[in-house]
Chain A
Amino acid sequence: MAALIAQLLISGLATGAVYALVAIGFSLLWQGAQTVNFAQGDFVTLPAFLILAGTALGLPFWAALLAAMVLAAAILGLLFKRILVDPMLRHGAMPLTIATMALSIFLENAMKNAASAEAYPFPGLNGGITLGPLFLDWQSIMVLGVAVVAVVALTLFLSRTRTGRAIQATAQNPAVARLLGIDVGRMVLITFLINAVLVTIAAALISPIYLVKFDNGAQIGLSAFCAAIVGGFNQVRGAVAGGLLLGVTEMFAATYGPDQYRAAVPMVLLIVFILFRPQGILGRAEERRV
């Protein structure tokens, strides 16, 4: 029993770590552009296809991953901001949010047209190590390890570097940041680029398990969105906490709860938090005058 619980915890944390990476993107874009990016799930799927395209062209996996990261930064960072966010944002957050829904539909269909409706295998790690009654699979260990490194690196970047602090200042109050001489536009762009890098890492970690398919984004996006709200939408740390909590909850619910309702777990968790702790685990309560 204890071994099963430990095993569930490890698997849950591994799944949750990926949710956390994607949820951080929700949080960053919310802070940078005051928008909820409903195409965030598809942002994870696109780099997975880019990595596969790179390997199909003969690149070694690491090179394909780097190339995908650069392309994702260009498409999901730079182009996304310039073509969609900048023109739409001046009309308010709601039109932009709706535009990201349209972008999600567009991306899904574009990927389907380009790569067909079929799923594609993605390289991953097999096997693992046995520690007493526990079996630790390499894939979960790698997912956890890479996710932890990515989150720690991002946290250090945001808190210890000049640019990171400027990004945080921009997120807190763009007008004041501008008065302080911060190039707000550049900081927002960097936020988008960070998101593109994070989703590429998430794509590389999750695709060996999920396979690569044009419509995978819906499930990942929904889980990460719930994780971001549960953790606290306005906090990167909150997104991490929310992702991990959701991953572990899903794992325990699927094991000990009725199988048929496992897909509802993220939404149930979301509803519970909205009712009893709307600011999330680590989020700040915000007030707005209307």
Chain B
Amino acid sequence: MRRNAVKLATVAGALMIAAVAAVAARHAIAAASPIKIAIPAELSGSGASVGTLWRDGVELAISDLNAKGGILGHPLVGTVYDTQTNPSVSRAVILKALDGHPYAVLGPVYSGSIQVDEPLTQKARIAEIMGGEAANLTTMGDPYIFRTSLGQAQTVPPVVDYLVKDLHAKRVGMIWVNDDYGKGGHSIFLADAKKAGLKVVADISSEAGQVSFAPDLLKLRAAHVDAVFVYLHEEENARLLKGMRQMGLKVPVVGGTTLIDAQTMKLAGSDANGVVSFSGLASGSPLPAVQDFVRRFEARFHVHPDHNALKGYMAVWMVKAGTEKMGKLDAHGLAAALHGMTIDPKTQPGILLPMHIFPNGDIDNGGFLIVTKNNAQHVIRVVPPAM
């Protein structure tokens, strides 16, 4: 009887201590100075769907980390800024964000915006972990810029390889968006296609937000191509694919990462069946960590995430990995800590895939050659990271 009472008292005591410790820990986190994260994103304008998913990915990661005690005991606080998909507005909001002394800047996604605000974060010596994929973003010697996905120089060659080896294409057309993202993809594709012996017989540029592709498709039809390489943003991809179906234009479609993402598939529906691209991140990846992310993202935001949401999510975890490597909060030291780092998902589960960060801010996490079918991504080939 007495022994039972002692046991009961011990258990009750332990529970009380645990409860007090939990409350104390929560208070400690709340009391610790917050880590201010600036989130510039395209929340309106032509890139609104992209930027919104990026922001949601960042916010999900912030919630996840805060639920686990933040970073080194400090909670994260995100402040969202709308770049309006406009480079000059982006520059203005980055100035405003830097005025608030953020620990890191996560975003934006559009390469044109990043190009103009990159010098500002560099001058402030604050890491800018962004969603842009244009090749030139990491070639300007800025030690504070970081990608969250593969750049164009890494994603275009596997697609060219697929055109040559799998489709046996000889004459190809290219439709690309005339902004920094599209220009980068265009020049890399032309160079790679030339090396691979492909003849680009239709080279068609379009505008961001373009609503009708009828003339472009008529040009493409007249060029008698074996396949078309598409390098557009999500909505334009969908409009193009729908236009192809409406015009009965049946040629294989390959292209940039955006061609296979959730937003393109949702908008194009069955018209997106059979398109092929290469991506370092794919919400259709069978990896359990990615699928868990997709489930939780859908539960919270009621939309299907695409690679932009994944990029935003991983950006926050990159901040965590770099900070924990330093063992202290050092906004100006974060960039240096991230350079050359290899992040293992076992220690940083939100990174989802093993990631190596190169000195110029590029990353390598391998990738997938993907075909879309029935609103889902199917992996044709897995390319492991080169690290």
Contact = CB atoms under 8 A, between A and B. Distances in A.
A116 B246 contact: no
Contacts of A213: 235
Contact of B212 (A125, A210, A255): A210
A24 to B, nearest CB: 20
Interface in A78-130: 112, 116-121, 124-128, 130
B268 A121 contact: yes
Contacts of B204: 259
B246 A259 contact: no
Contact of B48 (A118, A125, A251): A118
A251 B218 CA distance: 10
B269 interface: yes
A283 B48 CA distance: 40
Interface stretch (B64-72, B116-124, B236-244): B236-244
A110 to B, nearest CB: 13
Interface in B40-67: 43-46, 48-49, 52
Contacts of A209: 211-212, 214, 239, 242-243, 246
Interface string A228-263: 000000000000000000000011001100011011
A260 B183 CA distance: 12
Nearest to B213: A209
B327 interface: no
B168 interface: no
Contact of B248 (A128, A219, A255): A128
A259 B221 CA distance: 17
A119 B267 contact: yes
Interface in B219-268: 219, 221-222, 235, 238-239, 242-243, 245-248, 263, 266-268
B167 to A, nearest CB: 23
B211 A216 contact: yes
Given A121-B268, A219-B211, A208 B242 contact: yes
A174 B267 CA distance: 47
A4 interface: yes
A219 B201 CA distance: 30
B292 interface: no
B339 to A, nearest CB: 35
Contacts of A219: 209, 211
B291 interface: no
Contact of B214 (A11, A127, A211, A215): A11
A8 B215 contact: yes
B22 to A, nearest CB: 37
A7 B44 CA distance: 35
Interface string A139-168: 110000000000000000000000000000
A35 interface: no
Contacts of A262: 207, 215
Contact of B215 (A137, A139, A211, A255): A255
A210 B239 CA distance: 7
Contact of B218 (A8, A130, A211, A216): A8
Contact of A117 (B43, B209, B211, B267): B43
Interface in B266-289: 266-269, 271
Interface string A249-281: 011001100011011000000000000000000
Nearest to B47: A117
B216 interface: yes
B212 A259 contact: no
A140 B246 CA distance: 9
A255 B219 contact: yes
A64 to B, nearest CB: 18
Contacts of B238: 119, 121, 211
A8 B48 CA distance: 32
Given A137-B246, A260-B205, A118 B214 contact: no
B206 interface: yes
Interface in A1-30: 4, 7-8, 11, 15
B215 A117 contact: no
B178 interface: yes
Nearest to A5: B218
Given A117-B49, A118-B49, A211 B247 contact: no
Contact of B178 (A11, A130, A251, A260): A260
A8 B216 CA distance: 11
Contacts of A139: 246
Contacts of B242: 121, 124, 208-209, 211
Contacts of A117: 43-44, 48-49, 52
Contact of A128 (B222, B247, B303): B247
A8 B219 CA distance: 10
Nearest to A126: B245
A127 B178 CA distance: 29
A268 to B, nearest CB: 15
A44 B248 CA distance: 27
Contacts of A126: 245-246, 271
B246 A121 contact: no
Contacts of B46: 215
Contacts of A255: 215, 218-219
Contacts of B247: 128, 135, 137
A138 B243 CA distance: 11
Given A15-B212, A119-B267, 11 more contacts: A8-B218, A118-B263, A121-B267, A130-B248, A137-B246, A137-B248, A209-B239, A209-B243, A210-B211, A211-B235, A260-B205
26 contacts: A8-B215, A11-B218, A112-B48, A117-B43, A117-B44, A118-B48, A118-B303, A119-B238, A121-B266, A121-B267, A127-B246, A127-B248, A128-B248, A135-B221, A135-B247, A209-B212, A209-B242, A209-B246, A210-B212, A211-B267, A213-B235, A215-B46, A250-B215, A255-B218, A260-B207, A262-B207
